[in-house]
Amino acid sequence: MSEMTPMMRQYLKIKEKHKDEILFFRLGDFYEMFFDDADIAARELELTLTGKDCGLEERAPMCGIPYHSCESYIARLLAKGYKVAICEQTEDPALAKGLVRREIVRVITPGTVIEGSMLDEAKNNFLASIYVSGNKAGICFADVSTGEAYVTLVESDDIATRINNENGRYMPSEAIINNECAALKGATAFLKEKINCTVNVFDDDRYDSSPEPLLKQFNKETLEEIGLEGKPETVMAMNALLSYLKDTQINGLERLDTIYYYSEEQYMRLDLSTRRNLELCETMRGREKRGTLLWVLDKTKTAMGKRLLRTWIEQPLLNCAEIVRRHNAVGELVSDSIMRADLADGLTGVYDLERLMTRIVYGSANARELRSLAQTAEKLPSIKERMAGVNSQLLKEIYAGIDPLQDVFKLIDDSIVEDPPALLKEGGIIKDGYNAEVDELREAMTNGHGFLAKIEAAEREKTGIKNLRIGYNRVFGYYIEVTKSNLSQVPDYYIRKQTLTNCERYITQELKELESRVLGAQERIKQLEFQLFDEVRKKVAEQLHRIQRTAKSLAKLDVLVSFAQTAVDNNYCCPDVSLDGKIIIKDGRHPVVEMMMKDTPFVPNDTLLDLDENRTAIITGPNMAGKSTYMRQVALIVLMSQIGSFVPASSAKLGIVDSIFTRVGASDDLASGQSTFMVEMSEVANILQNATRQSLLIFDEIGRGTSTFDGMSIARAVVEYVNDKKRLGAKTLFATHYHELTEMESMYDGIKNYNVAVKKHGDDITFLRRIIAGGADDSYGIEVAKLAGLPNSVISRSKEILKQLNAGQPVAVRRKKLAEVRPQEPAQVSFTNPTTDKIMSKLRTIDANTLSPIEALNILFELCKLAQDH
């Protein structure tokens, strides 16, 4: 160690305290990495690995990146699961006596990012802290980039499931958990595998049970609302989160000063399976926004509104009064098209105040970001003026919450130039007229450059050297340059400074005095401008609460305007929300499917569910007929109502639902050794264990992954359980291919049969997409298989076997050899026969981009008939 260079000893001393992070060590205009960190960074970031002399025999592996473009590199490392420690030079190298002092200013982890370029503006980035003790868990979520923090206490014998539900609600990118939580395999696997969350396991000594750290961080009123007594798990989770943030953020923690306590009873319970099956914010296959409920409802204009809309969709309300308040606000905006358009226009161009303020408070915001804040503040008076006279209670609260911030606008507008440079320490930030000393220094610089031109002209005149010129470089400062051919004309008072091949360079006393004045002004003005900018930034940071309150009001307004515009564009109605548990929907539509089917009218359907005679709807009918779409649309309409949106129906009366559970589709989890059927049964078990009488249950096929009798037995037992008032009695939509279950309507109260109407023409079928009372008269499985393109021989044989089974006869064995069957159906189409010519001729006349689904099916039938007839 003693043999190493001083700089390398400094590096290793700092690295010793940050073994788990990649250390970005500032050297001039670069962040350098050494030893193992350099190997990792070079590999992950595709950087050139070099070496640096460190005083030992072998050179230290080294790689580096420019400090001003570090964010993209850091983002790539975070995405790969690494953490980064930023080590800055904390003194001016020009003033340092010996080794430049360096310190860690921040540790960046997936859950503590505040840079806008490294975040999705439409999503919150939550850090979770979880403390488990027995059947209780304190859970805290904080978004450092916006200053939001939420905490809750959950209690259950199945604590892992409850923890997973909360994590599914907030989707943290990083989590802090205690050893007892880590021992819950279901909880840790959910974090790591289901939501791709970085997990840090803290020893128990990191969990402080004292409320003192919280009292220092959060305002007293907030903590009184939480009620810390009797909630030690919550206190420990919050303290661990604060401890972690102090270790990583170093400064700026005052941004996080308010924490909100919520209970599970405030929001509808939605497990991760339900969120994915209903495709609330991302599609199941492509994980895209297009094709989701969020995609349909998102007409927001601001990043704050986009995040809040996602939050509302993820957290539907259970409070009837609060739901109605949102509906009333949307209704007022729907009815006043001029105000709605004006507000949408006013919100366009509003910057992300929440994340801007975080960077301002942390002292990392640049001048351009302050100008963005000013541009937003400039728009606020017109937005507030347009809301004057609103009637609904929620809009009145939003109006009161919007502060025009004209003092903030004036401060920034008076001090910061309209188009400031990106770098803060190069000058050019402060407006003329804001500070007298800055103006004087600029005058000195301007006049100084003018004096240089005068000196140059005067020296040419005095010496007679026509090509004499005054230049500048960093080593010698200002100089007079004379070519070799004119050296005989150089006067005695010129002092030789440098000899070059073709010329000589000189200085004069007058030139050095001017240099001192000009260069001194340049350095002083850079320092002074940064100092003035920092003062402005701190003054703006002092207005955090006003600006934060305004930001939250603007976000709510943005979402409500978006709901209203969507309702108008898509012909939604205002639902009648009640507590009677009834779901009565007239002409309901699937909000996403109807938007995806622009060229084909969506077939609407009615729904009647209650807690008495219409608890369970058994829905039969063929695949592809629309059963899944219908059931999902009911769930989405209920959810849309409880987030405050209007719904796609001609009318709707909707009772409050405390949770939605879905068991949809077939999937397996081979990595954990679970088959499709095992996954299906696990999901059913979760529903039956956690649903209540006020829940809405969606079962799309149960028991398909095992033998017919086993599957049908399980399906029937599940229907009996969910329908029984003494055991559950929840509102249920149950789609099945087991037609035998339709007999339950006559055996149990509360069960009703429905089916999807189908029109049959010979062997062909047409799906009418209409849900009607009664059980299906046939499964139409073979017809659907024919539509899917199974070979005619398979279809024919299926019909023979079905006929024998229906007659109770044993299935006869076909004696024909495979070789005898094959010639009847060529393996591929010959492109030289007349039938193929007709098919190809027909295909050439079709424009696939303009076909509706029905037209496409009709053409497909016609082509199939051509092939079959020949």
Among the listed residues 355, 357, 363, the one whose alpha carbon sits nearest the alpha carbon of residue 533: 363
* Residue among 599, 573, 596, 570 nearest 586 (CA): 573
Number of Cβ within a 10 Å radius of residue 238:
30
Adjacent-strand bridge partners of 586: 651
Alpha helices in 185-314 (DSSP H): 185-189, 212-217, 220-226, 232-249, 272-277, 293-297, 303-314
Chain-centroid distance of CA 810 in Å reads 58
Question: Any idea what the Cα angle at residue 634 is, between residues 268 and 292, rounded to 5°?
Answer: 75
DSSP string of 254-291?
A: GG----EE--GGGB-EE-HHHHHHTTSSS-TTT--STT
Q: Provide CB contacts within 8 A for 504, sequence distance 6+.
A: 481, 482, 484, 487, 490, 496, 498
State the DSSP code for 502.
S
Alpha carbons within 13 A on the beta-carbon side of 808: 0
* Gyration radius of the chain over CA positions: 36
Instruction: Note whether 769 and 626 are within 8 A (CB).
Output: yes
Which amino acid would we find at residue 546?
A: R
C-alpha angle 68-70-72 in degrees, rounded to nearest 5: 125
Would you state the structure tokens that stand for residue 529, as one six-digit string?
């401008």
Dihedrals φ, ψ of 207, to 5°?
-105, 105
What secondary structure, in 3-state letters, does 192-228 show?
HHHCCCEEEEECHHHCCCCCHHHHHHCCHHHHHHHCC
Residues 6+ apart with CB under 8 A from 215: 223
Residue 195, Cβ neighbours under 10 Å: how many?
16
Tally helices (H) and strands (E) across the chain. Answer: 30, 27
Cα separation, 99 vs 52, whole angstroms: 17
Binding-site residue set: 621-628
CA dist., res. 352 & res. 346, Å (int)? 14
Alpha-carbon gap, residue 280 to 432, rounded angstroms: 52
Rounded to 5 degrees, φ, ψ at 81 are 95, 10
**CB of 428 within 8 A of CB of 420?**
yes
Task: Give Cα 26 to chain centroid, integer Å.
Answer: 32
Mapping DSSP to helix (H, G, I), strand (E, B) and coil, where does residue 437 land?
helix
Residue ranges for the known binding site for ATP are: 621-628
Rounded to a whole number, what is the largest CA-CA distance in the chain? 127
